[in-house]
Amino acid sequence: MSDVLAGLHAIVGNKGLLTDPAEMGAYAIDWRKLFPGKPLAVARPSSTAEVSAVMGFCHHHGLAVVPQGGNTGMAGGAVPDTSGRELVLSLARMNRLRGLDPVGMTLEAESGVVLQTAQEAAVAVNRLLPISLAAEGSATIGGVISTNAGGVNVLRYGMARSMVLGLEVVLPDGRVVDGLRQLRKDNAGYDWKQIFIGTEGTLGIVTAAVLRLMPRPTQRLTALVSVPDPQAALDFLVLAQDALGDTISAFELISGFSIGLVQRHFGLSCPVGAGEWYVLIEAGATLSGLREAVETAFEQALGQGCVIDGTIAESGQQAADLWMLRERVTESEAKESKSVKHDVSIPIPSIPQFLIEAGQALDRHAPGTRVNCFGHLGDGNLHYNILIDGHDPHDINRIVHDVVDRFGGSISAEHGIGQYRVDELALRRSESEQFLSRLIKTAIDPLDLMNPGKVLSRRETR
């Protein structure tokens, strides 16, 4: 064993260090198998003190560190490069729920707690942790915070950032910063925790968090409707918001193509008449009358022609079945073909026109590609994924992102930059925004040891 590995071993012990390539396999590559890496080793510390000691050691020896949570990301942000010199630091063993307060409505968890475990803990005291995404059975709290994850409830509750009240982080030199306050209001000085949320482990390691909980709605209604086109889906969004207000927690657009993929690969059936587009809507409330309000809105939408057909789930099982049609799209896409993902944000009223122009651009420059489009319409976030078969993925990114730029959109609404979008980000953010980002990076991680090459290119930070 080299001196470096022996030093790490002395900190985390046998259970905390993997060096055998077979054991490191799952940590070396993302789940889509697009970004293979070769770790120096995988450290699995079990406490903040151990994370701190590992980071101090790496800082001293100039070792780069790649933090990893559930490894469910889409942008290759949590895997090492192929040099064999980067240490993967997995937070999986830091999985204690440290506290749950139904009165103050907070939950304190270590980074390795699985999101679903945290959701279930909240439900057990009749509270809601509203961060919800397809990968919630594997994604961890630390990863969700470090990537500022979105998901299906952003419309009502905001992104992961809006749930974070306090953080504990370990800086690149091993220093621990304890900001685990349970406070809803705290304007005392810089709100420094924000710079560790959504920066994908490039500035430090989130080891624990205090999250805000919400009241848990007692009634929940889920409906699937078909709509003639994206403009009709938007008309339905406006109608539903007028009628149901902020009870709407999800408003998901799903193309007929996406539903077809799910039917083909998972054998699921769709209870709503075939449409070009579908909307899955969910609303929740504690006061009575929600069902009547949803039914009225639905009738109105049918009358106006923005909805063609639809069904309202009559039971929890039916609601879960409807959600399956949405949540299985990613896996179906992976089974169907190699794809190039775009996770774009577009100003909401421009979405129908964006879809027209992106389609035209692809027809012109990459004819024959198939579009798998679905996403969080209520947030202006589309997953505009292209099944490529033979086309150059970089060309496709450029074609789609150029259209995104024309509409004043963003090339990553919720999946982040990782290593996948570093070059595209550099092309599309202004000089002054890039200057400011580099300033922050250099101030906190002057040696570029934290997840190098993610979000910002290595060159820019050295």
Smallest distance from ligand 2HG to CB 458, Å: 26
C-beta of 31 vs 219, nearer to ligand 2HG: 31
Smallest distance from ligand 2HG to CB 371, Å: 12
Q: Listing from the earlier edge strand, what are the strands of the sheet with 164-170?
A: 97-101, 106-110, 205-212, 164-170, 176-179
Tell me the CB-side half-sphere exposure of residue 207, using CA atoms within 13 A. 27
Q: What are phi and psi of 448, to 5 degrees?
A: 55, 50
Smallest distance from ligand 2HG to CB 75, Å: 10
Q: Can you spell out the DSSP letters for 69-114? A: SS---SSSTTS--SSS-EEEEE-TT---EEEEETTTTEEEEETTSB
C-beta of 297 vs 351, nearer to ligand 2HG: 351
Question: What's the Rg (C-alpha) of the chain?
Answer: 23
C-beta of 134 vs 427, nearer to ligand 2HG: 134
Smallest distance from ligand 2HG to CB 290, Å: 25
C-beta of 78 vs 208, nearer to ligand 2HG: 78
C-beta of 208 vs 404, nearer to ligand 2HG: 404
C-beta of 414 vs 445, nearer to ligand 2HG: 414
Smallest distance from ligand 2HG to CB 367, Å: 22
C-beta of 383 vs 401, nearer to ligand 2HG: 383
Smallest distance from ligand 2HG to CB 425, Å: 18
Residues in CB range of 215: below 8 A, 6 or more apart: 105, 127, 128, 286
Smallest distance from ligand 2HG to CB 415, Å: 6
C-beta of 39 vs 375, nearer to ligand 2HG: 375
Smallest distance from ligand 2HG to CB 150, Å: 7
Binding site for ligand 2HG (CB under 6 A): 134, 330, 341, 383, 385
The three-class DSSP label of residue 260 is: helix
- Cα–Cα distance for residue pair 413/320, rounded to 1 Å: 26
In this structure, are residues 159 and 148 in contact, taking their beta carbons and an 8 Å threshold?
yes
Residue 387 corresponds to which amino acid?
L
Structure tokens at 60: 């001293």
C-beta of 100 vs 133, nearer to ligand 2HG: 133
C-beta of 193 vs 421, nearer to ligand 2HG: 421
Smallest distance from ligand 2HG to CB 47, Å: 32
Smallest distance from ligand 2HG to CB 107, Å: 23
For residue 402, give Cα distances in angstroms to 338, 339, 344, 398, 406: 22, 18, 11, 6, 6
Question: Cβ–Cβ contacts within 10 Å for residue 370, how many?
Answer: 15
Residues in CB range of 183: below 8 A, 6 or more apart: 165, 166
In this structure, are residues 455 and 199 in contact, taking their beta carbons and an 8 Å threshold?
yes
Residue with tokens 């003639």: 228
Cα 453 to chain centroid distance, Å, stands at: 19
Residue 350 is given by DSSP the state: G
The residue nearest ligand 2HG at its CB is 330
